[in-house]
Structure formats: C-alpha cells, structure tokens
Structure 1
Amino acid sequence: MNDSWKYRPPLLSPRFGHEVARAGDDIFVIGGTDGTAGHSSVETRKVTGSGAWHHVSPMPAPRHDHAVGVTGGRVYVAGGIVGDGSTDAVDRYDPRLDEWSPAPPLPRPLAAASAAGLGDLLYVAGGSVGDSASDAVHVFDPAEKRWDPVAPMRTPRARFRLLATETHLYAIGGLAGGPQDVLDSVERYSPETDTWEAVAPMHKRRVLPGVALLGDRIVVVGSEPAAEDPVARDRTTEVLDLGTGAWHLLATLLPHGRSSVVCTAGAPHRVLAIGGRANPYGRRITVPGVLSLKVP
C-alpha cells in the first residue's frame, strides 16, 4: 500500500530558485525569489519535532539560482543571480555562531549550478555561462582556501541537481542547452579516480527536481514543465536503488505538480519537498508549502 504526501508546516515565505542544506539535525532553506524580489532570508527547522520554521541570520545579499553545499559543518552558498546578473561570490554560514563570512570566489560568475559536499571538500558543477550550459566542475578545499578544476561532466548541465553519497557524486537531470534539451540522464563521479561514468537514466526527463539521499536510495521529486506545456509541472517521484542501480517510479503523486522544489531527508524513511512553483487548478504560483512522504 502506497503512503501519500502529508502537509507539514509551511515556510514563512514562498520561494523558488532557493536551496536547502542539512547540517546535523538542522535544515536550512536559503535565498530564492518570489518572482518579484530576491530573498536574502534563511529559514530553519529541526529534522524532527514540530516542523515549525524560524529565521536565522540572512545572507549578505539576496540571491537566487545559487548552489549550496555543506562541508566541515558549514554551509556554503556559491554563485547564483544577484541583482541583474550572475555572481562569483561565495558566502559561508556557521550554524553554531549564526554568522556569515566571505569565502574565496568561484573561478567565474555562475548561475544555475549545483553543489555538494563530499568528505572535506565542496564541489560545484555545471551551471549557465551566458546562454550555454557548462560541464565544468571545481572543488574547493577549505584548508587550502582555493578552487581547483577536476574532471568535467560527460554532459553539460544547468538547472540540475548534484547529490553526494558517502563515496560518489551524482549529477541528475537538468538542461543541456535550450528548453527542449531536458535530460533524463544521470552520471556518477568518483573522486578516487577523478572520472565520471553514466548510470541508468531516470524514467522521466527532469529540470530542477528535488533530490534527497535516504540511506542507500536517491529520491527525485517533480520537475519544471515541458516546453510544450508551460503550465503543467511534474507530480511524480522516482527512486534509485544504489545497490541494484535500478530506478523505480512510485505510484504516489504530489497533490499538485511542483518545480524548483528542494528536497532533503526528514524523519527516518521520509523525504521533505520544500517550496518551489506549483500549478494548482491550472495556475502557476510560488508556494511556501512543505510536504512529507514516507518512501517504501
């Protein structure tokens, strides 16, 4: 029997183009936009408990379409859109002190990239450079305080998700070029060999889905609309079993299609889908809604 998505306490502000980070038992939702103005605000809640959100110290400046990763217990926000253009700025948040500080900038301005922490390092991959998607990947070593290039992805990607397991990075979906070039492909990076390899593709092509790691499974939720239907958003969830390498499309659907949604692991075996854009009753709106699903 399939579980259903459950409504949890919503964010304090509706947002898309935002990001999520989990540091210990704390979940942080960072930046984004409501479609008219960018957010510098950061909201947090515990993984367990009531699920109520509250604000912590905001970022130094509003930004959206940025990349976020966690390493060494600190949250890094890299690139994104600030004002009317992309930025190379990187800011670092210390949850223990509730303080932001600048970190060394990216090698170039970048938006619509994705980031993940693996070991003691932070990886930033892909993104938009002008009108093109990038395959470049850079790694930041906090101890050395510098960015270095590593092997590029097999496919240029923007508006995708990068996710870390204990040993590898996974690049999931995204755009390889224009709105018609939506990807179902997934590739895996090994830091040990500095190589990318293709793994099984998803059942559906996805742009800006939510992704989360639940034990030995990767959960992927929603997507931006297809080019042929600018309103409809994807309601599906699929799961990659890291042991078998196979994808499974769940029968459970989101209450409404959701894109630019961010996901993280919640209580055991549960994934949280947070914010984004939805299409209830054929209307496109930015939502603060938070949903929880127990993944079978």
Structure 2
Amino acid sequence: MRTFVHGEVVWGVACPRRPSRVAGVTMAGFRVRDLDALRMVPHPAVTLLLEFGAGSPVVDCAAGRQQRGSLVAGPGLGSGGAVRARGENVECVQVRLSPVIARAVLGVSPADLDGAVVSLGDLWGQEASRIREQLGDVASWQDRFALADALLARRHEAGPPVDPEVAWAWHRIVVSRGLARVDGLAAEVEWSRKRLWSRFRSQLGLPPKRAVKLVRFDHAAHRLVAGEGAARVAADAGYADQSHLHRDVRAFTGATPATMAGEPFLAVDDIAWPNRGTPAKPHVSRDLRLGRRPSDRS
C-alpha cells in the first residue's frame, strides 16, 4: 500500500498486481482515517464502492440526500459539484466499471440509476452483505481484489451484454478522447441516428453527446492536474477556446479549472489508476470488426 498525502489528510492506496479478468473493470483500495468533504469529480465510468472497514463512508448528494456504506452510481457522478464524500476510518475497494459492462455486472442498466447514488444492498440484496463480510475477513489487499474480481466476473458472465453497435460507439468516443463526431457514430455502425441514440442511452445510461463531453472533460481535467496550461489543454482537447473549457469545468464540477486541478479525487489517480488511459476493448461482432453491416436486430 502506497501513501498519498493531500493537505493534512493521509490516504493509503493499494492497486491490484494483475488486471481484472473482465475487460472494462479497474479497481483500487483505499484506507483513509479522516475523509473530509471530498468533492466527487465526474468520471466516464460507473462507480461501485465496496466498503468493509470499521467506519462507513457517507456520500452527501444534492437536496440533502445521503447514502452510507457500499454504493453504486452511474457515469458522471458529481456533475455540478454537488456530491461530497466523507467519513472516518474508511476502508473500501473502489471499482470503475465501463458503462459497456455495467448492465451485466449490476443487474440493471446504468440508465435505471437515473443519476442517483444507490445503495448496493438495494440492487444486490444479501450478496452485498456477503461481499462486505468476505472483504473484511481477509488480511491482504490482493486477496480483497481477487474476491471482488471473482464476484464481478461471475456476475458479468451471467448478465446481458449491450448491443455490439453500442459498445463500438462507446469505444470510438473513448479512444478519440471525446473528439469523435457524434453525428458520425450512427453511420459507422449503419444504424439510424434515432436507433443508436435510444439504445446508447438505455444501455449505457447517458446519451452519446453527453458521453463525448464527459470523456473530453475527463481527459482535459487530468492534463490540468498534471500542470499543463489551460490554453494549451483547451486547444488540444477540442474546446473552441479557453472560455469553453472554463464553462465545461464549471458545469461538471462547480469549480474553476485552477481549483479543480487541486482536487484530491483527481490528484490520487496517478497512484490508484495508473493505466486509466488505456481503454478496454469492447465486445464487438465480427461483422463490425471487418467493417460490414451487422445483422439487423430489433
């Protein structure tokens, strides 16, 4: 476990030695004695938090709503800067799920979360309690990662996949770092725009245009954290100008680019998610890989 220090707060951070068996799953372990009002910065993944320690994380959402313990939230958690996490003696495994596999793993589409933070127990019932006990019973972080990965792999195998056309469109957005032309996605898979937009939204939990903005913002945000100037980041990331970047950061985080660049939620990423820039390869049909029209499914 490595140490990450931000201000007066010391985090313990652990990473798996091996990648997940499921493409699109990444995870990290955290131990924080005193977590104080951590701003949740939107990320293009479904967040799954598996807590097991003596303490319990609390997530404060908009309109005074709270969620305690293990939870799940759709892509873009924290948009507008209204979500904060806090707690004492927090120990957890945080899992980032590609929206492409989230429906299979969770048992519900990210769209069914409707942008809310949901108790994992409400989705998984007793299975959520069992994994909490199992994570607490083992002594090492690598064993915890192995337990979590086995659970995710089993659920993924049993769950329904998204349409390969939807997976392909998501992959194009991610590998382009949010620079893909939204109007061109439907043409690439030879679907109507209406059909792709409807399937994308219902299966991944956000429309393609929002996905492009979120992926582009995430790339820009990490470059700002790395110390790059806002003008250069705006130009390279596809924003019209620096003011456009500023507005996007405000919309996603409720903060200025300079303030956001110092957020620990982002600053810890180099330790916790060292391979975040490598997108998982989606499941796509052979026809799509060869550039042919996929079979027409209703």
Q: Normalized against structure 2, the TM-score is what? A: 0.28
If asked which structure has higher relative contact order (CA below 8 Å, sep 6+), I would say 2
Select the structure of larger CA radius of gyration.
Answer: 2
* Larger helix fraction of residues: 2
